[in-house]
């Protein structure tokens, strides 16, 4: 049976969504940090992304013993909720098995935090997800891009600075490790381990 050919209830699968904007002009911007992380995870597990009828690019594989669907919506950030909802409907995965990876201005550059539920803090991707899923109760892996001195929109749509690029690989790897911790250890334990570790 081919990839994506069967949509049955699959409560043991996780859906991991990396938020970003489509197109090469956005590929290396701060707003695409989430998308960069899911691409890194796909490389780690040796899987490739393919088009899916939900409007996401999807790579299926395993993290540890768990089946995962890594996803990147191909819509713009503020419209990303609908393709994610369609993907969740396709897999029939419960909301507690959704992990969203996204850029976060409210924590410093280089920091990673895990959060379960909560507000959207003005993040257009999170707002679209919350609206389309009718809930904010999903797990987030927050990739710190720092708060700008000037315009927030310009900041997230800008490419990483030369100094940031020197440590970007480590930041993305830390975020990918955080996702894996959620899958293998559970959300509560992963929050304790990752969030406390980053404060040391």
The structural domains of the chain, ordered by start, are 14-199 (3.40.50.1470)
pLDDT digits (tens, 9 = 90+) for 149-197: 666 767 778 888 899 999 999 999 999 999 999 999 999 999 998 987 6
Q: Which of 31, 52, 102, 155 is catalytic?
A: 31
Residue 31 is among the residues annotated as catalytic for this protein: yes
Q: Which position has the higher pLDDT, 17 or 10?
A: 17
- Which one is predicted more confidently, 35 or 3? 35
- What is the chain's Cα-based Rg? 16
CA 104 vs CA 8, 59, 108, 138, 161: distances in Å: 34, 24, 8, 16, 16
pLDDT interval class at 131 (50, 70, 90): very high
Portion of the chain with pLDDT greater than 70, in percent: 90
What is the Cα–Cα distance from 60 to 95, expressed in whole angstroms?
A: 18
Residue among 114, 139, 134 nearest 15 (CA): 139
In the numeric block, the tokens 């013993």 are attached to 65
pLDDT of residue 6: 52
The reported pTM is: 0.91
The CA–CA distances, whole Å, from 53 to 16, 90, 137, 165 equal: 17, 9, 25, 34
pLDDT for residue 1? 36
């Amino acid at each position: 049976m081919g990839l994506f050919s069967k949509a049955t209830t699959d409560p043991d699968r996780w859906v991991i969504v990396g938020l970003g904007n489509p197109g090469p002009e956005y590929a290396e911007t701060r707003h695409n940090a989430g998308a960069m992380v899911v691409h890194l995870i796909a490389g780690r597990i040796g899987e490739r992304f393919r088009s899916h009828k939900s409007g996401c690019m999807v790579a299926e594989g395993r993290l540890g013993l768990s089946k995962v669907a890594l996803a990147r919506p191909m819509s713009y950030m503020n419209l990303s909720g609908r393709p994610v909802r369609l993907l969740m409907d396709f897999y029939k995965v419960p909301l507690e098995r959704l992990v969203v990876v996204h850029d976060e201005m409210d924590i410093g550059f280089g920091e990673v935090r895990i959060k379960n539920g909560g507000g959207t803090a003005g993040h257009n991707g999170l707002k679209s997800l919350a609206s389309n899923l009718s809930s904010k109760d999903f797990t987030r892996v927050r990739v710190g891009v720092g708060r700008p001195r000037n315009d927030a929109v310009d900041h997230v749509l800008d490419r990483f600075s030369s100094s940031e690029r020197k440590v970007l690989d480590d930041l993305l790897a830390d975020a990918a490790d955080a996702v894996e911790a959620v899958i293998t250890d559970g959300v509560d334990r992963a929050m304790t381990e990752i969030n406390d570790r980053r404060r040391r």
